[in-house]
Chain A
Amino acid sequence: MNAPVLPASLRDNPRPAQWIGFEAEGRVRLATGKVELGQGILTALVQIAAEELRVPPARFRTVSGETDAAPEEGFTAGSQSVEASGGAIRQVAAEVRARVLAAAALRLNCAPSALEVADGRIVQDGAPTALDYWTLADAVDLERPAEGTAALTPPEAFRYIGAALPRVDLPGKVFGGGFIHDRVPDRLLHARALHRPWPGAVLGALDEATLSRVAGGPVGLVRLGDFAAVTAETEALAGRAHEAAEARAAWSGGSPRAPVPSEPLALVGAEATERLLDIPGRATAAPAVARIAARYLRPYLAHGSIAPSVALALWEDGRLTVETHSQGVGNLRIALAQALGIGTEAIIVRHRPGAGCYGHNGADDVALDAALVARARPGRWVRAQFTRAQELSVVPFGSAMVVDLAAELDAAGRPVSWAMEVFSGTHGQRPGHNGRMNLLAAEALAGAEPTPPAPDVPDAAGFGGLRNAVALYDLPPQRIMHHLVARPRLRTSSMRGLGTHGNVFALESFIDELALRAGEDPLAYRLSLLSDPRARRVLEAVAEMSGWAGRPAGGDGVGWGIAFSRYKNRAAYLAAVVELVAEETIALRRVWCAVDAGLVINPDGAANQIEGGVIQAASWTVKEEVRVDADGSLPASWEAYPILTFPEVPEVFVRFVGSAGDPSLGLGEAAVGPTAAAIGNAVAHALGVRVREMPLTRERVAAALLG
């Protein structure tokens, strides 16, 4: 018999004690390498552990993302946490229950099958016993590696999985406190760093005396190559000192940026690594009678978290402790060790909640800032924080993209050939990716080597620039050319959905164009090319929810659009319908989503994720764009980088249509592509002309109308 296959996270962290412990006062410790980013992951993981341990969620205490106290599970990213950590926790919790029941059976001299667990207590043939998890904790070896043999609770017996459990962390956030921003260790020193405004910039002299005088109090300066940070005893003074330093910083050399007419188009023709992906497809004998081609653009996008990035660091006796809201504490630890030239064993990194995180933001960069200052001021906790301007200019961006699509069509308007070209910067430059540090300040330190061009996210991780480039329709062979631009004009890395926003916008706009050309309903045209039953089901469900069949005729400013994708081509299926009014500007009214994510652990939390994804993607699609100003600068304020506001958000309706018998599929990023494309398609329906360049601003709509 083959050994059972353990979930990957459990294989990497096989000792049950790494995950679960029984603590004083009837509490259960649940440790995970995944971290809370506002997506509700800790609640979902507690539900899973509660289910298999038969302990109500209120008894749990979670430990997450601590390199000295939680399993290492890589990045919390890519809609994989429920699949990866949840899968491991489910298995390990079932195994812990089985081991405890075996120990109890020995004590009670009965068969384990006569026993069960209720609220952590051992019950024998329905009657309570004196035993429970806590009294038996010493009798059970949780250090012995998990075997993966314990039977899992079947879906029909679920009590906690599938229930809309309230978020465990939300009360703390409603009543104040609870964020990394709120941590104030004794004798805290406040730091604010200066970061290069463009690659390779050289920083002129700064002096403490001047900064202290201008800021109105004693200010320290930490200077390492072209990195500098001011320090002060209070946050207010640190802020004034930083303003003074920014105003006096003389930057020279390097490669300042000049504005270009179009950031996405600057990718075309730039130095790039090229790769062709040939996707097999259906053979077709029908002759081509027409060829159509279109180009779609997406700009650089900023994370724009509501809070600035923050980190705390303490350097003591050559050892470093860091508190961070990074998505990957283990990888950050390795990158910090590299940047500081010390061993990883000298570093502890602990996750603390930050504001919403949608990818590789400034959390890791600011952690190095804090660590560098802490090393220069040993024995004190140092707190570093970015400014809003830094949040919008020096942290990595989601890459701009150009997507070209071309198809030859038969007499029925169905594709007989299919070609796509994608131009993009990398979507993967996280700390530790490909053995690189990828930390902002590291490149400014004296003697630092310039970072070579980064590869993209590996195919096995779901692609970067090519994420969702492969269309799921029944198409002829797809020829997909990827141009991975070596040096995009802005620093790029992972942002929610990676290439999926640009690619699905392009693919689903193009499909819509083919449908219109064939004179067919965009829904019917899609279904005619779609045999995957789960894909068909989300499209049919969203049509039913929204009343697609009764939509207005279009052409008079009111538009309806539909779009579909399966995130990463292997996570959740999602179809969206958008209703909007396109006049002077685009006013989004309603968005409907039908989602198949298999077994949904927490339906309300999952709906919250989908709703949030819709609104964020809507904001990207109609408003957002990072531009290099006439003076070469990047956005420094929300005025320069507007996002969707309350009066502009559409109503969002979400329905889950999957089956609890199917495995859980990641859904956090599932809405991003279909929302963008459905908006584009609705604009085309409203106006009769198509805008192929995001964001779909008033100027672009007007230009399209003028032809």
Chain B
Amino acid sequence: MSGTIGFTLNGRPVTVSARADDALLAVLRGTLGLMATRFGCGAEACGACMVLVDGVPTNSCTLEIARLAGRDVVTAEGLGTADAPHPVQAALLDEQAGQCGYCLSGIQIAAAALLARNPDPARAEVAEALAGNFCRCGAHNRIIRAVQRAGRMMRGATP
């Protein structure tokens, strides 16, 4: 059942050996040591494990690695770093949008995908784009403001 699978991860080609039915999340965290993508429910319900697959926000907790051959995967690490943050990451910090922060990686992914197609979303549009991301701490309003702020940064407007 094991084999090697090649795909693009955060802009670089990678090859991993894994069971075909291993979840992408397990490979990211267990094999590749990338910890930003988080386990929340393991059942595609909470969005903590979200990554971009060919630009589409996708829960990685049940996504079989075999289905990723040749595809393009971006994790929160691939969006930006502390030194070169993605506008969503910078805006989350600007707005102090988070309490425990556990939900924030998946939210960054969903927000980045939203802003890529609509850099000027209304509150309801942001909320709709984040409907699959749970936050138990109640940081929602700050997160929505941060996503809108990131949009302004991307549009070159004053944040």
Residues of chain A with a CB closer than 8 A to B39's CB: 181, 307-308
CA distance A612 to B137 in the complex (A): 5
What's the minimum C-beta distance from A243 to chain B, rounded to whole angstroms? 10
CA distance A615 to B143 in the complex (A): 13
**A40 CB-CB contact with B under 8 Å:** yes
Chain A 536-551, CB within 8 Å of chain B: the 1/0 string?
Answer: 0000000000000000
**A158 CB-CB contact with B under 8 Å:** no
- Does A608 lie within 8 Å of B30, measured CB to CB? no
Chain A 392-433, CB within 8 Å of chain B: the 1/0 string?
Answer: 000000000000000000000000000000000000000000
**B120 CB-CB contact with A under 8 Å:** no
- Does B101 lie within 8 Å of A637, measured CB to CB? no
| Residue of A37, A174, A177, A608 most packed against chain B (CB within 10 A) | A174
Residues of chain A with a CB closer than 8 A to B152's CB: none
CA distance A304 to B41 in the complex (A): 10
| Residue of B19, B39, B137 most packed against chain A (CB within 10 A) | B137
- Specify the chain B residue showing the minimal Cβ separation from A612: B138
**B73 CB-CB contact with A under 8 Å:** no
Residues of chain A with a CB closer than 8 A to B80's CB: 175
- Does B93 lie within 8 Å of A171, measured CB to CB? yes
**B74 CB-CB contact with A under 8 Å:** no
- Does A176 lie within 8 Å of B77, measured CB to CB? yes
- Does A608 lie within 8 Å of B139, measured CB to CB? yes
Residues of chain A with a CB closer than 8 A to B12's CB: none
- Does A612 lie within 8 Å of B139, measured CB to CB? yes
- Specify the chain A residue showing the minimal Cβ separation from B81: A175
**B141 CB-CB contact with A under 8 Å:** yes
**Which of A218-226, A512-520, A645-653 contacts its partner?**
A645-653
Chain B 1-38, CB within 8 Å of chain A: the 1/0 string?
Answer: 10000000000000000010011001001100111111
Classify the interface of chain A: helix, strand, loop or mixed: loop
**8 Å CB interface, B120-159 against A:** 123-124, 126-128, 130-131, 133-144
- Does B134 lie within 8 Å of A235, measured CB to CB? no
Q: Which of A174, A176, A306, A651 contacts B34 (CB 8 A)?
A: A176
Q: Which of A166, A216, A358 contacts B96 (CB 8 A)?
A: A166
**A639 CB-CB contact with B under 8 Å:** yes
Given contacts A175-B89, A651-B141, whether A645 and B134 have CB atoms under 8 Å apart is: yes
Residues of chain B with a CB closer than 8 A to A353's CB: 100
Q: Which of A179, A216, A616, A619 contacts B19 (CB 8 A)?
A: A216
| Residue of A39, A170, A604, A605 most packed against chain B (CB within 10 A) | A170
CA distance A88 to B100 in the complex (A): 25
CA distance A184 to B89 in the complex (A): 25
- Does B93 lie within 8 Å of A170, measured CB to CB? yes
CA distance A166 to B135 in the complex (A): 20
Chain A 671-684, CB within 8 Å of chain B: the 1/0 string?
Answer: 00000000000000
Residues of chain A with a CB closer than 8 A to B34's CB: 176
CA distance A652 to B42 in the complex (A): 31
What's the minimum C-beta distance from A32 to chain B, rounded to whole angstroms? 18
Residues of chain A with a CB closer than 8 A to B1's CB: 216
- Does A38 lie within 8 Å of B127, measured CB to CB? no
What's the minimum C-beta distance from A607 to chain B, rounded to whole angstroms? 9
Residues of chain B with a CB closer than 8 A to A388's CB: 40-43, 45
Residues of chain A with a CB closer than 8 A to B81's CB: 175
CA distance A432 to B86 in the complex (A): 45
**8 Å CB interface, A264-318 against B:** 304-308
**B104 CB-CB contact with A under 8 Å:** yes
Interface magnitude class on chain A: 35 or more
**B51 CB-CB contact with A under 8 Å:** no
Q: Which of B45, B127, B137 contacts A616 (CB 8 A)?
A: B137
What's the minimum C-beta distance from B123 to chain A, rounded to whole angstroms? 8
**A79 CB-CB contact with B under 8 Å:** no
CA distance A649 to B130 in the complex (A): 11
CA distance A637 to B134 in the complex (A): 13
Residues of chain A with a CB closer than 8 A to B23's CB: 236
Residues of chain A with a CB closer than 8 A to B115's CB: none
- Does A236 lie within 8 Å of B100, measured CB to CB? no
- Does A638 lie within 8 Å of B46, measured CB to CB? yes
Q: Which of B30, B134, B138 contacts A236 (CB 8 A)?
A: B30
Given contacts A236-B30, A638-B134, whether A646 and B102 have CB atoms under 8 Å apart is: no
**B99 CB-CB contact with A under 8 Å:** yes
**B98 CB-CB contact with A under 8 Å:** yes
CA distance A171 to B82 in the complex (A): 7
Q: Which of B45, B99, B142 contacts A40 (CB 8 A)?
A: B99
**A643 CB-CB contact with B under 8 Å:** yes
What's the minimum C-beta distance from A622 to chain B, rounded to whole angstroms? 14
Chain B 70-99, CB within 8 Å of chain A: the 1/0 string?
Answer: 000000110011100100010011001011
| Residue of B1, B46, B99, B124 most packed against chain A (CB within 10 A) | B99
- Does B38 lie within 8 Å of A307, measured CB to CB? yes
**B103 CB-CB contact with A under 8 Å:** yes
- Does B136 lie within 8 Å of A167, measured CB to CB? no
**B48 CB-CB contact with A under 8 Å:** yes
**B59 CB-CB contact with A under 8 Å:** no
- Does B100 lie within 8 Å of A176, measured CB to CB? no
Given contacts A181-B39, A637-B43, A637-B45, whether A646 and B100 have CB atoms under 8 Å apart is: no
CA distance A40 to B100 in the complex (A): 9
CA distance A166 to B97 in the complex (A): 10
- Does A611 lie within 8 Å of B48, measured CB to CB? no
What's the minimum C-beta distance from B28 to chain A, rounded to whole angstroms? 11
- Does A306 lie within 8 Å of B96, measured CB to CB? no
CA distance A353 to B71 in the complex (A): 34
Residues of chain A with a CB closer than 8 A to B41's CB: 388, 637-638
- Specify the chain A residue showing the minimal Cβ separation from B23: A236
Q: Which of A167, A173, A611 contacts B104 (CB 8 A)?
A: A173
- Does A616 lie within 8 Å of B138, measured CB to CB? yes
Q: Which of A166, A184, A307 contacts B93 (CB 8 A)?
A: A166
Residues of chain B with a CB closer than 8 A to A308's CB: 39-40
**B105 CB-CB contact with A under 8 Å:** yes
Residues of chain B with a CB closer than 8 A to A470's CB: none
CA distance A166 to B94 in the complex (A): 8
What's the minimum C-beta distance from A651 to chain B, rounded to whole angstroms? 6
CA distance A40 to B108 in the complex (A): 21
**A354 CB-CB contact with B under 8 Å:** yes
What's the minimum C-beta distance from A351 to chain B, rounded to whole angstroms? 14
Given contacts A184-B33, A638-B45, whether A235 and B38 have CB atoms under 8 Å apart is: no
**A201 CB-CB contact with B under 8 Å:** no
Q: Which of A177, A235, A615 contacts B35 (CB 8 A)?
A: A177
Residues of chain A with a CB closer than 8 A to B99's CB: 38-40, 356, 608-609, 612
Residues of chain A with a CB closer than 8 A to B42's CB: 239, 387-388
**A25 CB-CB contact with B under 8 Å:** no
- Specify the chain A residue showing the minimal Cβ separation from B124: A647
- Does A613 lie within 8 Å of B102, measured CB to CB? no
Given contacts A176-B77, A354-B100, A611-B141, whether A306 and B134 have CB atoms under 8 Å apart is: yes
Residues of chain B with a CB closer than 8 A to A169's CB: 101
Chain A 166-194, CB within 8 Å of chain B: the 1/0 string?
Answer: 11011101111111011010000000000
CA distance A184 to B28 in the complex (A): 14
CA distance A629 to B17 in the complex (A): 41
Residues of chain B with a CB closer than 8 A to A639's CB: 45
CA distance A308 to B157 in the complex (A): 40
What's the minimum C-beta distance from B74 to chain A, rounded to whole angstroms? 13
- Does A179 lie within 8 Å of B102, measured CB to CB? yes
Chain A 618-638, CB within 8 Å of chain B: the 1/0 string?
Answer: 010000000000000000011
7 contacts between A and B (CB under 8 A): A38-B137, A176-B105, A306-B135, A388-B41, A609-B99, A615-B138, A643-B136
Query: Lowest 3 A-B CB distances belong to which pairs?
Result: A176-B36, A173-B101, A38-B100
